[in-house]
């Protein structure tokens, strides 16, 4: 019996776990990661994308092992390993982490809309409407959240076809010579890619909501392979399309590639892309609100419906204050470092601690 298990009617099918993970990984980073990773490894950075993607598979394997070891989620694992007081103190940090995740997704979307479409957009009004939609989704339960993740990926998936157009104008000699950078430069580029790959940590919280969770492993790893392939392909297309000096100065390379797309019924295709991105970001915001409110419910026994309103209000106030590009870049950078600590430091240490405690307890 899973610790903190939920009723079967509230659980999702194993294959749906992949949509949740991929939805969390498909965020604002897709629109700008090329410019970030190219700073250190140049046009060899597509190799760093593959390397970073492979490390995600290892970390997801560790996360499954954590949940299987304690037969529950990470909240129970922390209490089991550290005790109730310290364990719940660690769990509290996840509330702030997912508030940070929500801010990064929503704040980035608002920044793009104000930069590319409506410079006079009121951040408070837009964020309030968007967060109300997120609250409504969370009220529907985890199955509704998973359903939005599915729709948020499937409906805008046609956007992948639009990258065939800049592919026609690409010069793949830009990528030569290959392997022309040092291991440290590849490492720095891969580290900068971490922000784009973040989101798979939701597995540690959603594990009890997956029906037959062991069967979900293959689907999650297939989903991770899919995101790694898409990011690698998008990086190669971008490197072929942009001269390196121009790409380093491009803030939103993906949107700039959409500027050459012309359709009979729409002149500025990037506007349609941004509109679709509002749907793509919705699962990230909803899952973040769900996760933060669930942690508050499990740790402090708050009513989750009331907790999600409080958390959404906090997000609304903070995102309204993030007006400048510098403040958003600081938020992205801080979130990237917090995500790195969560995934690459905390997760392996937690797993090793659980193994040691299990062994000692068995003896």
- CA dist., res. 127 & res. 283, Å (int): 15
Structure token digits, residue 54: 């492979």
Q: Please check whether residue 36 is in contact with residue 171, taking contact to mean a CB–CB distance below 8 angstroms.
A: no
- Does a structural domain hold residue 69? yes
Domain span at residue 276 reads: 11-86+97-335
**pLDDT at position 264 over 90:** no
Q: 1 pLDDT band (50/70/90 cuts)?
A: very low
- CA dist., res. 170 & res. 243, Å (int): 10
Burial 264-286 (b: 16+ CB within 10 A, else e): eeeeebbebbbebbeebbbbbbb
- Does a structural domain hold residue 164? yes
pLDDT digits 0-9 by tens, 154-173: 999 999 998 888 888 888 88
- Does a structural domain hold residue 355? no
In the prediction, which pLDDT does 217 show?
94
Domains identified in the chain, total number: 1
- Does a structural domain hold residue 277? yes
pTM: 0.93
Q: 3 pLDDT band (50/70/90 cuts)?
A: low
Q: DSSP assignment, residue 216?
A: G
Which CATH number covers residue 182? 1.20.1740.10
Q: Can you tell me the mean pLDDT for 125-144?
A: 95
- Does a structural domain hold residue 55? yes
Q: Can you tell me the mean pLDDT for 329-354?
A: 91
Q: Can you tell me the mean pLDDT for 178-192?
A: 89
| Peptide bond between residue 52 and the one before it cis (omega within 30 degrees of 0) | no
Instruction: Give DSSP secondary structure letters for 107-167.
Output: HHHHHHHHHHT-TT--HHHHHHHHHHHHHHHHHT-HHHHHHHHHHHHHGGGGGGGGGHHHH
**pLDDT at position 4 over 70:** no
Structure token digits, residue 324: 């400048």
Q: Can you tell me the mean pLDDT for 178-198?
A: 88
Average pLDDT of the chain?
90
Q: DSSP assignment, residue 343?
A: I
The percent of residues in the chain predicted with pLDDT above 70, rounded, is 98
Residues belonging to the chain: 363
In the prediction, which pLDDT does 86 show?
94
Q: Pseudo-torsion of CA 104, 110, 114, 119, nearest 10°?
A: -130
Q: Can you tell me the mean pLDDT for 78-92?
A: 93
Q: 5 pLDDT band (50/70/90 cuts)?
A: low
Question: Which range has the top average pLDDT, 64-73, 240-249, 316-325?
Answer: 64-73
Tell me which residue of 157, 193, 153, 158 sits closest to 283, measured CA to CA: 153
């Amino acid at each position: 019996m899973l610790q903190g298990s939920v009723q079967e009617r509230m659980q999702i099918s194993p294959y749906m776990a992949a949509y949740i993970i991929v939805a969390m990984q498909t965020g604002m980073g897709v629109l700008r990661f090329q410019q970030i990773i190219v700073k250190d490894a140049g046009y060899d950075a597509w190799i760093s994308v593959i390397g970073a993607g492979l490390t995600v598979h290892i970390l997801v394997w560790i996360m499954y092992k954590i949940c299987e070891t304690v037969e529950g989620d990470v909240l129970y694992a922390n209490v089991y390993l550290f005790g109730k007081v310290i364990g719940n103190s660690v769990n509290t940090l996840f509330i702030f982490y997912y508030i940070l995740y929500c801010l990064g997704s929503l704040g980035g979307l608002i920044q793009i809309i104000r930069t590319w479409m409506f410079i006079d957009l009121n951040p408070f009004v837009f964020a309030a409407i968007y967060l109300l939609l997120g609250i409504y989704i969370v009220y529907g339960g985890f199955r509704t959240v998973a359903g939005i993740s599915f729709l948020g990926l499937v409906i805008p998936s046609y956007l992948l076809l639009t990258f065939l157009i800049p592919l026609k104008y690409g010069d793949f000699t830009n990528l030569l010579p290959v392997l022309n950078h040092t291991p440290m430069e590849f490492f720095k580029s891969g580290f900068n890619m971490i922000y784009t790959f973040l989101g798979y940590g939701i597995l540690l919280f959603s594990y009890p909501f997956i029906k037959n969770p062991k069967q979900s492993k293959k689907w999650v790893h297939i989903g991770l392979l899919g995101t790694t392939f898409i990011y690698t392909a998008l990086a190669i297309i971008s490197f072929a399309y942009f001269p390196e000096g121009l790409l380093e100065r491009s803030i939103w390379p993906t949107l700039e590639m959409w500027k050459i797309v012309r359709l009979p019924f729409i002149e500025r295709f990037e506007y349609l892309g941004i509109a679709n991105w509002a749907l793509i970001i919705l699962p990230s915001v909803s899952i973040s609100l769900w996760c933060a409110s669930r942690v508050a419910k499990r740790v402090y026994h708050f009513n989750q419906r009331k907790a999600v309103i409080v958390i959404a209000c906090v997000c609304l106030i903070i995102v309204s204050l993030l007006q400048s590009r510098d403040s958003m870049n600081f938020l992205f950078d801080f979130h990237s470092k917090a995500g790195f600590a969560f995934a690459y430091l905390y997760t392996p240490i937690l797993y090793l601690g659980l193994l040691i405690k299990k062994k000692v307890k068995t003896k």
